[in-house]
């Protein structure tokens, strides 16, 4: 249960960083910091993504990183924030069905997701 709770907290901490002129790195930084402060790891092989004409578009939205790095957020950008947090190591693999992802070490993993839009003053959660 703690893994699930911390993962949800990571999602909302990431969303709080969505505002004009912050960066994608600001989102990943707070997610990684919170997850690791609770002894968990952040999946690196999968990330959030832009949405628009196609479902998976740029920018990629890693859930780890450094402040003030990556694309700058501007109004009307729409993307997902979907942290995947592991109880063990961050390494994962995709199974032969081409879709199912599991942790390499067999540890538990949790994910929460929202699609957000950058507004003139902050963020709107589109999937709330």
pLDDT values of the chain reduced to their tens digit, one per residue, 128 residues: 999 999 999 999 999 999 999 999 999 999 999 999 999 999 999 999 999 888 889 999 999 999 999 999 999 999 999 999 999 999 999 999 999 999 999 999 999 999 999 999 999 999 98
Burial of 9 (0-12, 13-18, 19+ CB in 10 A): middle
pLDDT score for 55: 80
Helix (H) or strand (E) holding 117: strand 114-118
pLDDT score for 47: 96
pLDDT score for 78: 97
Nearest Cα residue to 18 out of 88, 109, 128, 122: 122
Tokens of 85: 């947090």
Helix (H) or strand (E) holding 37: helix 24-37
Q: What is the distance between the alpha carbons of residues 31 and 25, in angstroms, rounded to a whole number? A: 10
pTM of the model: 0.95
Asked if 19 and 73 count as a contact pair (C-beta separation under 8 A), the reply is: yes
pLDDT score for 128: 85
pLDDT score for 127: 97
């Amino acid at each position: 249960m703690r893994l699930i709770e911390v993962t949800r907290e990571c999602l909302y901490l990431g969303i709080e960083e969505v505002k004009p002129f912050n960066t994608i790195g600001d989102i990943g930084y707070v997610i990684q910091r919170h997850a690791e402060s609770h002894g968990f790891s952040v999946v690196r092989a999968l990330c959030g993504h832009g949405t628009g004409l196609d479902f998976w578009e740029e920018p990629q939205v890693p859930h780890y990183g450094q402040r003030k790095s990556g694309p700058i957020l501007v109004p009307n950008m729409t993307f997902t924030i979907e942290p995947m947090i592991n109880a063990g190591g961050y390494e994962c693999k995709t199974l032969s069905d081409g879709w199912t992802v599991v942790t390499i070490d067999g540890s538990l993993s949790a994910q929460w997701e929202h699609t957000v839009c950058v507004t003139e003053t902050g963020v709107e959660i589109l999937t709330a």
